[in-house]
Every structure is written in structure tokens, then in C-alpha cells.
Amino acid sequence: MFEKLSLLLPFGNFIRNKSIQNFLFLAVIQSSNVLISIISMPLLIQSIGVDQFGLVNLALSVIILLNILVGFGYNLSAPREVAVNQDDKTALSHLLSNIFSAKILFATISSLLILIAVFGLNLFREYQLILVFSVLLLYSEATLPLWFFQGMEKMKLVSIANIFSKLLFLMGIVLFIHSPEQSKWVNFMLGLFGLSINLFLLFYIHTVMEIRFFRPRFSDIWQSLSDNLLFFFSNLASHISINGGLIILSFFSGAETLGMYSLAERVVMVLRLFPALIIQAIFPNASKLYREDEVEFYRFLKRVYIRVLLFGALIAAGTHFTAPWIIKVLSRSELAESVLFLKVLAAVPFLACLNIANVTLMLVADLKQLLFRASWMMCLYMIIVSAILTSYFGGLGLCIAILSTEIIVFLICLVLLYRRNRKLFYGFYT
């Protein structure tokens, strides 16, 4: 579709750019996920009630945390490995086999942990059955080949498949979820449809793209896990830093403030996907350029960086000035405190864009240790400063802490690059 449009439209070269296509398809995936989530919320609340809806989300939160273990940082490392081996089907076959074997192994370990926690230790008492039925989501994550198509710079099929999976889930809610007793099937259906579509994608990779699946050797899997260990801990630290604010606020504020902040945070977290999508979109092409032509790599990254900063500033300004309207549309009421939180947090997408260049430099140069150190320094700073400011100023203090964390992690990455790899630092910043 993009190829045909590129022949007809005056900005054809823009559309033909692989990084632009990657970004657009990744944006389609994320926006469809958000849209389906928004549509499904009122349907589920009406069908299973607010209490069961909350328990379903609690179970989903546990699964999302375990999915960090299942993913084990391959979302950061695997696209680069695929990108540099695009024309070597044997190397891709071994890479695919090793990564999927490792992820399925971790999905199985995570499932066993849940079963032990529920049936052995009697944990998660309020939503044990819902959580047990949610384990299929772990295998859905393990078999998702997004990283492969991202590295191959062929995102169209996986984006269409993702939308189809979410539409099946939405249809499943309408057809099969009608009472609180059926709440255990919500996450199960999400995992089932996701897993089914992923298996179709793997079949396509095997038959059409002619990528074989080998029986991996344990030594290869172990080496793969060892290489990715720092990426895993980096992802874990980033998850805590980005999503831990609400937990910290719960220790110092009541339910009303939590609700006000949660509404504003949800809007900002959607907008904060923008810099993450940019990194994922440009990563494969940036990796190849870094290997083949460093001068062109720096030019490419500078062009992207300037445009992203400008667009990030527009997103931040637009969110700030439309905050009252956004909150009113989402909540159907005028919540002054939530509007204040959103106006302050509106700067987060722009501040997050500041660090796009630093993270990309670390990823293409395989500087796992620097990324690991930066992630955990950011995490430690966020926890300490958020706890202090929230204890004194409540939700507003947490907003300020979140903003300062984005600035601090940019400075941390800048200093680490300067101290440990001045060639990269001067290559981009001069």
C-alpha cells in the first residue's frame, strides 16, 4: 500500500523511507491497542461490574510484570541482530529458534510461579482464578514476532494481525462476557486470540519467508540469555521508573487523589509512547548505517532528533492547553485537580524525546552496561525523589518528580556516553 502511494503522492520519498514506515506501523499497533482498550472498558464494566473489572486489571498488572521476564530484553537487542542479518536466512533461522525457545522457557517458568503462588502459597486470594486463566497471555507474549518484523523492516503484516487479534477480543467480549462469573475469561480470551494470531505469523515466517526452525542447543540459549541479562534489568528498571508513581502516591494520598492522578497519568503514558516508537522505528536502519557508514549514521540520527524534538514540543504544548477539554471528555466532568496534574505532566513527552539520541547511540553500539547503569540510576532517583516530594506536596509533588526524572536520565546518559565512549559522543554532538 505504501509503495503504491509513494508513486502517486508528492511526498513519495518520505513514505518509502523504511524508518518512517516502521514508525507508522508501530503507531498503528499502539493506537489500535489504546483504542480497543478504551472501547472495551465500558463494555466490561457493564458486563462484569466495577469490582470484577478491577480484579481483571490487577491480574493483568501481574502478567505485565512477568512479561518483562518473558521478553528478557529481546525487544531491545533482537531487532538489531535481525537487521544486520536480513539477507542471511541461516543466521535468521538460528536467531529465531534461540529467541523463541528462551521466551517460551521463561513463559513456562512464569506460569509455574503463578500456579505455586496461587495453589501452594494461597496468594492473590481475591482474583486467583482470574490470574490462573491469564497465564495464556505469557505465551502470547513469548510467541509475538514483532521484534523479527521490526528488524526486517516489514511491519505491515504484524500490524494488521495485531488489529485483527484485538477485534476478535472485542467481539469475544460482546458475545461471551455477560456476568461477573465470566470475568475469568476476559484475559484468557485476550491471550488466546493473541497466541492464535502469533502462530499464524510464525507459519508465515516459515513458509513464505523460508525461515527454518531448528532445535536450539542449550549452550546457544544460555549464551543468548547471558548477552541479554543487562537489557532485562534495564527494562525492569524502566518499567518501575515509568509506572511506579501511582504505587508511591498510594502511600501518601487517598482514593480521590489517586483517581485524579491516574486519569492524567493514563493520558500522558499514551503520549509518552511517541519517543519509544521513534527509537523502535529507526533502530534497524540506524544499526545498519552504524555498521556500514558512521558518518551517514550520525547525519541520519541528527535529522531524526531535530524533527522529533519539534514534534514532541508540539505534543506537549497541545496537551497543556487542551488539558481541561481532555479531562472533561474522558471523565464527563470538570476535575480541576486532574486538569492541574495533566498540565504539569504534559511536558513529559517532550522531555522523554531529549534522550532518544542517547538511547539509540547506546543500542546501536551494543553498550548494554551503560544502558543498564543509566536505567537503574534513573530508577533509584525516581523512587527517592518521588517519595520525598509526594510526602510533602501530594500528587503535584509526584508530577514534579516525574518531570525531573526525565531530565536527570538525559543528563545521566549524556555523562555516561562522554566518559565511556567519547567517539560516539563527539560523533553526534559536534
Pair (389, 338) in one structural domain? yes
Q: How far apart are CA 126 and CA 403, in angstroms?
A: 35
What's the rounded mean pLDDT across residues 59-76?
Answer: 82
Least confident range from 175-179, 255-259, 260-264, 407-411: namely 255-259
Most confident of 124-138, 245-259, 301-315: 301-315
Residue that finishes a domain, picked among 227, 253, 272: 227
Residue 171: all three cell numbers together = 467481539
State yes or no: pLDDT of 16 exceeds 70. no
With beta carbons less than 8 A apart as the criterion, state whether 257 and 2 touch. no
Q: Does residue 233 fall inside a structural domain?
A: no
Residue 313: all three cell numbers together = 514540543
**What pLDDT, on a 0 to 100 scale, did the predictor assign at position 148?**
87
DSSP-derived letter for residue 9 is S
State yes or no: pLDDT of 414 exceeds 90. yes
Q: How far apart are CA 158 and CA 144, in angstroms?
A: 9
- pLDDT, tens digit, 9 for 90 and up, residues 186-228: 889 999 999 999 999 999 988 888 888 877 777 777 877 787 7
**What pLDDT, on a 0 to 100 scale, did the predictor assign at position 388?**
93
Would you mind telling me the total number of residues written for the chain in this entry?
430
Closest CA to 275 of 304, 300, 248, 250: 304
Q: How far apart are CA 336 and CA 396, in angstroms?
A: 12
Q: How far apart are CA 135 and CA 216, in angstroms?
A: 24
Residue 282: all three cell numbers together = 529507526
Pair (214, 287) in one structural domain? no
**What pLDDT, on a 0 to 100 scale, did the predictor assign at position 20?**
64
What's the rounded mean pLDDT across residues 156-182?
Answer: 85
With beta carbons less than 8 A apart as the criterion, state whether 179 and 123 touch. no
Pair (269, 294) in one structural domain? yes
With beta carbons less than 8 A apart as the criterion, state whether 382 and 241 touch. yes
Residue 25: all three cell numbers together = 506501523
Residue 91: all three cell numbers together = 543466521
Pair (186, 45) in one structural domain? yes
Q: Does residue 202 fall inside a structural domain?
A: yes
Axis crossing angle, helix 294-321 with helix 356-364, rounded to the nearest 10: 150
**What pLDDT, on a 0 to 100 scale, did the predictor assign at position 389?**
92
Pair (180, 297) in one structural domain? no
What's the rounded mean pLDDT across residues 100-107?
Answer: 91
Assign 5 a pLDDT band (cuts: 50, 70, 90).
very low
Q: How far apart are CA 47 and CA 360, in angstroms?
A: 44
Residue that finishes a domain, picked among 198, 227, 256: 227
Q: Does residue 72 fall inside a structural domain?
A: yes
**What pLDDT, on a 0 to 100 scale, did the predictor assign at position 22?**
61
Identify the residue whose cell numbers are 489504546: 34
107-128 b/e (C-beta count within 10 Å ≥ 16 → b)? beebbeebeebbeeeeebeebb
Pair (313, 183) in one structural domain? no
Least confident range from 30-44, 295-309, 375-389: namely 30-44
**What pLDDT, on a 0 to 100 scale, did the predictor assign at position 11?**
42
Q: Does residue 236 fall inside a structural domain?
A: no
Pair (251, 137) in one structural domain? no
**Total structural domains in the chain?**
2
Pair (105, 65) in one structural domain? yes
DSSP-derived letter for residue 126 is G
What's the rounded mean pLDDT across residues 32-52?
Answer: 72
With residue 187 as reference, give the H or E element that holds it. helix 184-207
Q: How far apart are CA 340 and CA 430, in angstroms?
A: 39
State yes or no: pLDDT of 141 exceeds 80. yes
What's the rounded mean pLDDT across residues 73-96?
Answer: 82
State yes or no: pLDDT of 13 exceeds 70. no
What's the rounded mean pLDDT across residues 135-159?
Answer: 86
Q: Does residue 232 fall inside a structural domain?
A: no
Assign 151 a pLDDT band (cuts: 50, 70, 90).
confident
Q: Does residue 182 fall inside a structural domain?
A: yes
Pair (163, 269) in one structural domain? no
Structural domain including 155 reads 1-227
Pair (199, 323) in one structural domain? no
**What pLDDT, on a 0 to 100 scale, did the predictor assign at position 26?**
65
Assign 373 a pLDDT band (cuts: 50, 70, 90).
confident
Least confident range from 132-146, 166-180, 302-316: namely 166-180
CA atoms within 13 A on the CB side of 145: 31
**What pLDDT, on a 0 to 100 scale, did the predictor assign at position 198?**
92
Assign 326 a pLDDT band (cuts: 50, 70, 90).
confident
The C-alpha torsion from 36 through 37 and 41 to 42, rounded to 10°, is: -30
Pair (170, 286) in one structural domain? no
Pair (350, 249) in one structural domain? yes
Q: How far apart are CA 69 and CA 148, in angstroms?
A: 19
State yes or no: pLDDT of 183 exceeds 90. no
Helices (H) and strands (E) in the chain, counts: 21, 0
Q: How far apart are CA 296 and CA 298, in angstroms?
A: 5
Q: How far apart are CA 347 and CA 351, in angstroms?
A: 6
**What pLDDT, on a 0 to 100 scale, did the predictor assign at position 34?**
67
pTM to 2 decimal places: 0.68
**What pLDDT, on a 0 to 100 scale, did the predictor assign at position 344?**
93
Q: Does residue 326 fall inside a structural domain?
A: yes
| Whole-Å CA distances, 244 to 23, 161, 375, 380 | 27, 31, 14, 11
State yes or no: pLDDT of 267 exceeds 50. yes
**What pLDDT, on a 0 to 100 scale, did the predictor assign at position 346?**
93
Residue that finishes a domain, picked among 197, 227, 257: 227
Q: Does residue 313 fall inside a structural domain?
A: yes
Q: How far apart are CA 205 and CA 211, in angstroms?
A: 6
Largest separation between any pair of C-alpha atoms in the chain: 64
DSSP-derived letter for residue 120 is I
Identify the residue whose cell numbers are 516525574: 402
Residue bearing the bigger pLDDT, 73 or 420:
420
Phi-psi region of 394 (alpha: psi -120 to 50; beta: other; left: phi over 0): left
253-262 b/e (C-beta count within 10 Å ≥ 16 → b)? beeebbebbe
| Mean pLDDT of all residues belonging to the chain | 82
